[in-house]
Structure 1
Amino acid sequence: MPADYRDDLTIPAPVTRSVVITGASRGLGFASARRLYREGWTVIAAMRSLDPGLDELRRATGAANNDDRLIGVQLDLTDRASIDAAAEAIIAAVGAPYGLVHNAGISAAGMVEETPIDLWERMFTTNIFGPVALTRALLPSMRAAGRGRIVLVSSESGVRGMPATAPYSAVKGALERWGESMAGEVSPFGIGVTILVAGTYDTEIITDAGTTDSRDLTGPYARHHRTMDKRGRYAMKLAARSPDRFAAGLAKALDANAPFVRRPVGPDARMLLLANKIMPSVVMHHMIRAMMGIPRFGALRDNRSD
């Protein structure tokens, strides 16, 4: 369907407590889909690899193949035709969804100098442009229904720009500014927006398998990478929580009534938000630098003269 505003939509009668979750085949999306289905929601599980992902969700929830409370929708956020087809399928299945959870995304590691431009483009297409297109396609039905909640899953990288993950930090920061802007636009129609700042959870996205690695381990930032990799893996081992804990936070977020909410999910995210609120930016910069073992300002400067 076209993504332009549509006021002439014929919308089926809404199904009570329906929610669209993108990236539902794994990680936080999978855990959230399982939790919400068990709580009685009609779950529209949107994913790229539909058949294996939906089969796994059915096994996890005990849903039968013909269960109309667990609906699979194929969605590739980098493909506009796939987004439009998914929006049409969602509206045909449940009318206006009550919840729209933008969870799908990709991660990357590497310094700005190391990460290629096509990675930045893919990052923004998957994490921003695709979600915006899907939201635009579904908003007319949600406006007509006069209720709903859009949940944007951010992360600690959206609170502070983190070294060696600049594309990911940039896209999560953009996601939050989009959510803040959209909240003011849609709240008069009865639609709320929630930004969930996720802490560290034990999913594929924090592993090598779930991250596009552009690091040059022999280049000028090799010293950074060695220290940051060692400390980062140790920190993730200590901080990573079960995705089921995030799913509980998401379920609570969908019940919110405020027009705009930004809240952490996880103790590490909560601590970072608090520190970022009360500490000056320069203090936060040095604190993060010290935690990651990055040399002080000018330490690696080449002072040799020609």
Structure 2
Amino acid sequence: MADVRSSFSAPRVRSSVSAPRVRSAVITGASRGLGLASAARLYRDGWHVVAAMRSVDSGMKALRELTGAREGDPRLIGTPLDLTDAASVTAAAKTITEAVGAPYALVHNAGISAAGMVEETPADLWERMFATSIFGPVLLTKELLPSMRAAGTGRIVLVSSQGGVRGMPATAPYSAVKGALERWGESMAGEVAPFGIGVTVVVTGTYDTEIITDAGTTDCRDLDGPYARHHRTMDKRGRAAMRMAARSPDKFAAGLAKALESSKPFVKTAIGPDARMLLIANRVLPSAGLHQMTRLMLGIPRFGALRGQGRSDG
């Protein structure tokens, strides 16, 4: 005789409340500066954080010291990532997928800084700048997008700067790459929004990190060359402005955490009062007006003032 117990057993009642899924975030450049502060903040907020960085040992040590996380904590994982090396990017994407599946947030924070006029900056610096901030991040995004599309949710955050809003003298490679980053984000937002993935471009203000110091910047300036007068004035005024405006990286991390709560398909937002003021000025003032304002603020000589003084002896 057939067992009929299953036919008359009480139906199973499924709970309408499921356990909340821990959201995961990938943050590049997480070994120092804004990336380090952001990774620590999200971990403390309960996120599952994958910290991608070139120096994993020192970076993870710094993260554990900031967060109190124990070694081997499954919510805090480090992965090697050299954005200038395609094989490293592919390997990092594999580690990320194995660790968290489809990440909810992909934060492209890694970047490098350089000082010098266009004439002074070598071609290989431009190539390294674009590899770090555009080509590598694009490849990492391409590797992770299939799983994010399948999940039907997520947010890609591109960390830009004031140099991406307006091209700034003596930082042309940096301004160029941040401008390209913003255009990439705007384009990608229209492509991925139908799959439930949003894009946020974050314009950062001035923060007290290594990137604004001599130690964190590749210095290509020729202080005895034709742009010496520019450099002397800009260096003095720039350092004074940074001392006044620089805020704690923790302030940025709080702004990033808030930005990740957005459900809009595309957002461009500023984190920091100086960045907010620039975005307002960029909307209100014509390009020529902003150019003139920048020249006056930085003490750059007026148009034509150095005619005849920049001739080469060759």
Q: Report the Cα distance in structure 2 between the residues aligned to 1:219 and 1:81, rounded to whole angstroms.
A: 40
Q: 2:93 aligns to what?
A: 87
1:102 aligns with 2:108: yes
- Percent identical across equivalent pairs? 76
Q: Report the Cα distance in structure 2 between the residues aligned to 1:304 and 1:126, rounded to whole angstroms.
A: 33
Does structure 2 conserve the Cα–Cα contact (< 8 Å) formed by 1:32 and 1:246? yes
TM-score by length of 1: 0.94
Q: 2:276 aligns to what?
A: 270
Q: Report the Cα distance in structure 1 between the residues aligned to 2:104 and 2:309, rounded to whole angstroms.
A: 60
1:293 aligns with 2:296: no
Q: 1:177 aligns to what?
A: 183
Choose the corresponding residue for 2:194, options 176, 188, 192. Answer: 188
Q: 1:40 aligns to what?
A: 46
Q: 2:7 aligns to what?
A: none
Q: Report the Cα distance in structure 2 between the residues aligned to 1:162 and 1:59, rounded to whole angstroms.
A: 36
Aligned residues, how many?
292
Choose the corresponding residue for 2:120, options 104, 114, 120. Answer: 114
Q: 2:260 aligns to what?
A: 254
Deviations 1:94-130 (A, max 9, x none): 0000000000000000000000000000000001000
- For the pair shown, the structure with the greater C-alpha radius of gyration is 2
Does structure 2 conserve the Cα–Cα contact (< 8 Å) formed by 1:15 and 1:95? no
Choose the corresponding residue for 2:219, options 189, 198, 213. Answer: 213
Q: CA deviation at 1:80?
A: 0.5
Q: Which one-letter code corresponds to 2:237 in the other structure?
A: R
Q: CA deviation at 1:15?
A: 5.7
Q: 1:204 aligns to what?
A: 210
Q: Report the Cα distance in structure 1 between the residues aligned to 2:270 and 2:66, rounded to whole angstroms.
A: 27
Q: Which one-letter code corresponds to 2:44 in the other structure?
A: R
Q: Tell me, which stretches of 5 or more residues in structure 2 are unaligned?
A: 1-19
Q: CA deviation at 1:140?
A: 0.4
Q: Report the Cα distance in structure 1 between the residues aligned to 2:109 and 2:250, rounded to whole angstroms.
A: 14
Q: Report the Cα distance in structure 2 between the residues aligned to 1:66 and 1:246, rounded to whole angstroms.
A: 27
Q: Report the Cα distance in structure 2 between the residues aligned to 1:15 and 1:110, rounded to whole angstroms.
A: 47
Q: 2:27 aligns to what?
A: 21
Tell me which stretches of 4 or more aligned residues in structure 1 moved more than 3 Å.
Answer: none
Does structure 2 conserve the Cα–Cα contact (< 8 Å) formed by 1:19 and 1:99? yes
Choose the corresponding residue for 1:138, options 141, 144, 151. Answer: 144
Shift of the 213–86 alpha-carbon distance from structure 1 to 2, 3 Å rule, reads same
Does structure 1 conserve the Cα–Cα contact (< 8 Å) formed by 2:22 and 2:46? no
Shift of the 300–71 alpha-carbon distance from structure 1 to 2, 3 Å rule, reads same
Q: 2:240 aligns to what?
A: 234
Q: Report the Cα distance in structure 2 between the residues aligned to 1:186 and 1:156, rounded to whole angstroms.
A: 26
Does structure 2 conserve the Cα–Cα contact (< 8 Å) formed by 1:199 and 1:265? yes
Look up the SS of the partner of 1:196 in the other structure: strand
RMSD across aligned positions (CA) = 1.4
Does structure 2 conserve the Cα–Cα contact (< 8 Å) formed by 1:199 and 1:268? yes
1:157 aligns with 2:134: no
Q: Report the Cα distance in structure 2 between the residues aligned to 1:237 and 1:70, rounded to whole angstroms.
A: 33
Q: CA deviation at 1:16?
A: 2.3
TM-score by length of 2: 0.92
Does structure 2 conserve the Cα–Cα contact (< 8 Å) formed by 1:22 and 1:101? yes
1:76 aligns with 2:60: no
Does structure 1 conserve the Cα–Cα contact (< 8 Å) formed by 2:34 and 2:209? yes
Q: CA deviation at 1:175?
A: 0.1
Q: CA deviation at 1:155?
A: 0.2
Q: Tell me, which stretches of 5 or more residues in structure 1 are unaligned?
A: 1-13
Q: Which one-letter code corresponds to 1:86 in the other structure?
A: A
